[in-house]
Every structure is written in C-alpha cells, then in structure tokens.
C-alpha cells in the first residue's frame, strides 16, 4: 500500500499581522519503514517529560522542529529566548526511526533517562494529534489562549480521507541514523515574552446571489406617425404655433419702432412730401371694367390649382396613373404632371388675353410705373402700413405706389419667369437641341421655378389680407362687381368664386382627371 501526502492544518501566525503558520506544504508520512514499525515511531514522542515543557514554555509550544526523520527534513520551531534563533539549531538534532518493536521499547526504557531533557526538547515540538487513520499524524499549532494547550486538542482534529492507491510494495532497507545530540544551553531565567494577540480572521465573503431574471413580454413598438413632408401632423401644428407666435412678437416690435420714427420731424416731412401715390398721366382711364373682374377670377382659379398640382408633382413618389400623347405613345408622364402642364397652358392663354386687353384699353397705366416718384412714394406707403396708420385707399382711380410695383412685378416679371422655366421642364422643350440645352440648362429652370411659385403664394396671402383690411366690401365691388359702391354684391360673387375653387381643388383626383385626359391621349396604370 502506498500512502500519499496530505495538507497540514494551519495554526496562528508567528508575528502579528503575518500569514498563518505553518505554510501549506505537502508532508509525506512520518515513517517510510514497514507498517509494523510505524506505530512505535509515532508513539515515541509521547515519552517526553513534561518538566522540559515547564522549564521552557516557549520552546514547548513550538509546533515544529527541523529534524531528520527517515531521511526527510522537518521544520524548526520558535526561539527559546526573545530575539534568538529558531530551536533547535540547524542540523543539531536527529531522530532515528525505529525499525522494530524492540528498538521502540528500548527507547522508552529508564536507562535513557540521562538523555531525557535533550530528547524532550527535540521531541516535544513534534507532538501531534493522535493518528486518525492511515498512520498519518496531524500536527498541532499554538494555543489559542496564553498558557493553554496546543490547538487542536489531542485526538480531536478531523482528518481528511486519504486517497489510497494499490501499488506494488517495494521493500527498502531501513537506514539507521545515529543520534547526534548537542547539549542545549540553559534557558535564561527571564520571563517569557508576551505572545502577540492573535489576529481576528475576517469572515468569509458570502457569494452574491444573482438577481432573479423575470421573463417579461416585450412591449409592442409604437407605430411611427404619418409624415406630411418632413414632419408629422403634431410637429406641423407645433411649428405653426411657435412660428406664428414669433411673427406676432416681431410684428409688434416693428410697429413700435416705426411709430417712434414717424414721430420724428424728418420722417413727418417725408410723409407730407410723398403721401404714397403720384398722379397718373393724362388720359389714364378711371374705374375697373368688367373684363378685368372676370380675368381676375380666372387667374385666381388657375393659379390656385397650379400651385396644388405643382406641389403634388414635387412630392409624388409613385404615380397612380400615367398619360401618353396620341402622337407619341412611348412618352409617358404622370397624370398629375399632365394636369399641371394643362393648367399652365390655360393660365398662359388667360395671361396673354389679359395683357392684350390691358394695353388696348389703357389700363396698363394703372400698374406700370410712369414716374420715378414711384419709389419714394412706395417707401412712404410701406412706412404707413407698418405703423398701422394706413394710407388712404382709392383703388377705383389710382393704386398707391407700393401696390403698383407689386402688380407690375407679378404680371410682367414673375409670370414670364414661371412660363419660361415651366416650358424648359416640360415635354414641349426639344431634347435633342444640344446647343440650346447647353445655353439654358434644365437645372437653372428648376432653381428658379419653385421660388417663383413661393412668390405667388406670398403675393396672394398679402393681397387678400389687404383687401379685407382696407375696406372689404368696397374693394370686392371693385374687383368682382365693377362698381364703386359699398354693398354686398361683390362679396357674394367672391364667395361663389371661392366655392368653385374649393370644388375644383377636391375634384382634382385621378378618378375625375382620367376621363378628361383620355380626350387628349392615353391613360394607363403603368
């Protein structure tokens, strides 16, 4: 049978705050001889007289000495005196393992009494707990209290189960080692040093328990709000509210500043010199004829639908229907683009008729500037509008200079730009004309066409606001009823025109537009 090494039980540290003593080491069995000789060798240290321990308590408490047992070195114990070397001195004590029962008996005979003190010093530190099994003795440590017994008490220390492996027994001749005993010096009568207080062991850290994972159903993702352009409906409402509030604050500040300026003498003289309008040339017509009223209605009707269809073409990603001309079935455009271009043609025809009649009847002098005084008068009219002390309106005879400039820009600048850029982007433009395309790139047309549309939107907004703010009934009679009176006729015509425009806005859908488009070409779903 082969006996394997085991781990030594550790006691208290040798110095305060030090590591536990002895260090963890693997110690083989105390005897390598035959199993029959192991028992006497373990019992031999029990013959140590207690007088040696009483004479030297520090040395008696030493748990280990450096001794050769069966050819194996053991550890040395504590010093006998304070500041001395560990006891016994290195290589000074050797204990021979008895090879038989007779040797063990002779070792405990009385005739060995003269060597008892030295043997007690050498054997006392080797005292161990009673072997619990397998022939392996457990080493005892320092006492837990001053003057107490070594810990643990003899025969009470638990012993771990040894792992025994069946192996062939190899007989090895026992080697006797002659005991070499050196006489130890007498211990000093000084009092034993006070042992250092045993350090308190920190409680073992308890492992943290992982928090229980509770399975929960994953919440359903909320659907994204529908976007109208770059923002949702709620975002558009918030932007309009914040933007409107900001414009209101800005307008209030402008009104306050302009009224402060007009209170100064230089600005009062300027308003007196330039009241906001100048006299028209001789022979300028007075009043607004009926054809201008009808042209005004057609122009509003077409421009509103043009803006609607233009925005639809700009934002449409997947057209629902396509239109192809009869003379070129391979060319296809979306139904919304066909509607937009058809409205452009009608608006162009209406504009040409308006310009011809304008110059034929002399009405052009009302919207075309004929004097350089138009610019200072326009500034004066703008200051009066911003101060909320608006200039006197007499549109039946003459527009103020600011109105005249706005009408001139709309009819003779913005409208031609919209026509020229629209034709460049339409199918009427020759695609194979390389020189013409290089002179007038389509990118320029796209860069101008959309800002022109925004100008028309701003003009309509300001124009309608001023019509209602400067005498709604009289102004509506001028534009729709061709009379300079204050009654509800012009307002009634204006209300009917709004209903017609709203109905056309709603009806501008593929279900209504497709039958009309088939009169001029072919409509298909792809």
The ranges assigned to domains in the chain are 2-165, 290-371+397-524
What is the pLDDT of the chain when averaged over all its residues? 75
What's the rounded Cα separation, in Å, for the pair 350 and 443?
Answer: 28
Average pLDDT on 122-126 reads 41
Confidence of residue 299 (pLDDT cuts 50, 70, 90): very high
pLDDT at residue 456, rounded to an integer = 92
Per residue in 421-474, pLDDT tens? 988 888 778 878 888 888 889 899 999 999 998 999 999 999 999 889 888 899
Tell me what pLDDT residue 232 has. Answer: 85
Average pLDDT over residues 113-127: 40
For the segment 19-35, the average pLDDT, to the nearest whole number, is: 55
Fill in the DSSP letter of residue 357: H
Residue 1 in this model has a pLDDT that exceeds 60: no
What does the block give as tokens for 347? 């608006």
SS3 227: strand
Q: What is the pLDDT of residues 93-110, one digit of tens each?
A: 444 444 444 443 444 444
Residue 62 is classified by DSSP as -
Span 222-226, mean pLDDT? 77
Task: Rank 18-27, 210-219, 272-281 by mean pLDDT and report only the highest.
Answer: 272-281
Rounded CA-CA distance 151/167 in Å is: 35
Residue of higher predicted confidence among 72 and 448: 448
Pick left, alpha or beta for residue 136 (phi over 0 → left; psi -120 to 50 → alpha; otherwise beta): beta
pLDDT in tens, 226-252: 887 788 888 889 998 999 999 999 999
Phi, psi of 206 (to 5 degrees): -75, 135
The more confident residue out of 283 and 174 is 283
Give residue 160's pLDDT band: very low, low, confident or very high (50, 70, 90): low
More confident residue, 347 or 153: 347
pLDDT value for 201: 59
Higher pLDDT residue, 111 or 257? 257
Given this model, what pLDDT does residue 209 score?
Answer: 60
Report the distance separating Cα 319 and Cα 305, nearest Å.
18
What is the CATH topology of the domain spanning 290-371+397-524?
Fumarate Reductase Cytochrome B subunit (1.20.950)
Its pTM surpasses 0.75: no
- The per-residue pLDDT for range 188-222, each reduced to its tens digit, is 444 445 555 555 555 555 556 655 555 556 666 67
> What's the confidence (pLDDT) of residue 15?
81
């Amino acid at each position: 049978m082969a006996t394997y090494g085991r781990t030594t039980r550790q006691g208290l540290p040798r110095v305060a705050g030090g590591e536990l003593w002895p260090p963890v080491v693997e110690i083989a069995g105390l005897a390598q001889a035959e199993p029959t000789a192991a028992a006497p060798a373990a019992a031999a240290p029990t013959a140590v007289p207690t007088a040696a321990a009483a004479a030297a308590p520090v040395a008696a408490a030493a748990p280990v000495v450096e001794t050769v047992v069966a050819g194996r070195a053991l550890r040395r114990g504590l010093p006998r005196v304070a500041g001395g070397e560990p006891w016994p001195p290195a290589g000074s004590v050797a204990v021979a393992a008895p090879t038989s029962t007779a040797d063990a008996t002779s070792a405990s005979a009385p005739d060995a009494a003269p060597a008892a003190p030295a043997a007690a010093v050498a054997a006392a530190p080797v005292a161990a707990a009673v072997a619990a099994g397998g022939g392996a003795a457990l080493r005892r440590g320092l006492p837990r209290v001053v003057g107490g017994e070594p810990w643990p008490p003899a025969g009470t220390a638990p012993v771990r189960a040894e792992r025994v492996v069946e192996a062939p027994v190899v007989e090895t001749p026992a080697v006797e080692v002659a005991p070499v005993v050196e006489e130890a010096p007498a211990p000093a009568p000084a009092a034993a040093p006070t042992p250092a207080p045993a350090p308190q062991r920190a409680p073992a850290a308890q492992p943290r328990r992982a928090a229980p994972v509770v399975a929960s159903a994953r919440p359903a993702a909320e659907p994204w709000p529908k976007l109208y352009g770059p923002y949702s409906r709620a975002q558009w409402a918030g932007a309009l509210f914040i933007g409107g509030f900001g414009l209101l604050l800005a307008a209030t500040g402008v009104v306050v500043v302009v009224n402060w300026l007009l209170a100064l003498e230089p600005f009062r003289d300027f308003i007196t010199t330039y009241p906001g309008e100048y006299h028209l040339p001789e022979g300028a017509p007075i009043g607004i004829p009926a054809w201008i009223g009808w042209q005004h209605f057609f122009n509003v009707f077409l421009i509103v639908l043009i803006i609607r269809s233009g925005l639809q073409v700009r934002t449409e990603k997947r057209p629902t229907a396509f239109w192809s001309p009869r003379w070129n079935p391979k060319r296809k455009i979306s139904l919304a683009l066909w509607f937009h271009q058809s409205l452009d043609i009608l608006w162009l025809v209406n504009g040409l008729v308006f310009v011809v009649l304008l110059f034929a009847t002399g009405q052009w002098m009302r919207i075309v500037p004929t004097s350089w005084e138009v610019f200072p008068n326009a500034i004066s009219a703008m200051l009066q509008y911003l101060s909320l002390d608006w200039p006197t309106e007499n549109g039946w005879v003459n527009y103020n200079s600011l109105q005249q400039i706005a009408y001139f820009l709309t009819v003779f600048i913005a409208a031609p730009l919209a026509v020229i850029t629209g034709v460049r982007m339409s199918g009427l433009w020759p695609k194979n004309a390389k020189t013409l395309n290089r002179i007038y790139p389509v990118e320029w047309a796209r860069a101008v066409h959309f800002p022109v549309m925004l100008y028309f939107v701003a003009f309509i907004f300001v124009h309608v606001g001023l019509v209602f703010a400067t005498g709604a009934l009289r102004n509506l009679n001028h534009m729709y009823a061709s009379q300079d009176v204050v009654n509800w006729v012009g307002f009634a015509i204006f209300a009917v025109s709004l209903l017609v425009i709203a109905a056309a806005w709603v009806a501008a859908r593929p279900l209504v537009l497709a039958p009309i488009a088939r009169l001029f070409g072919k409509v298909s779903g792809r």
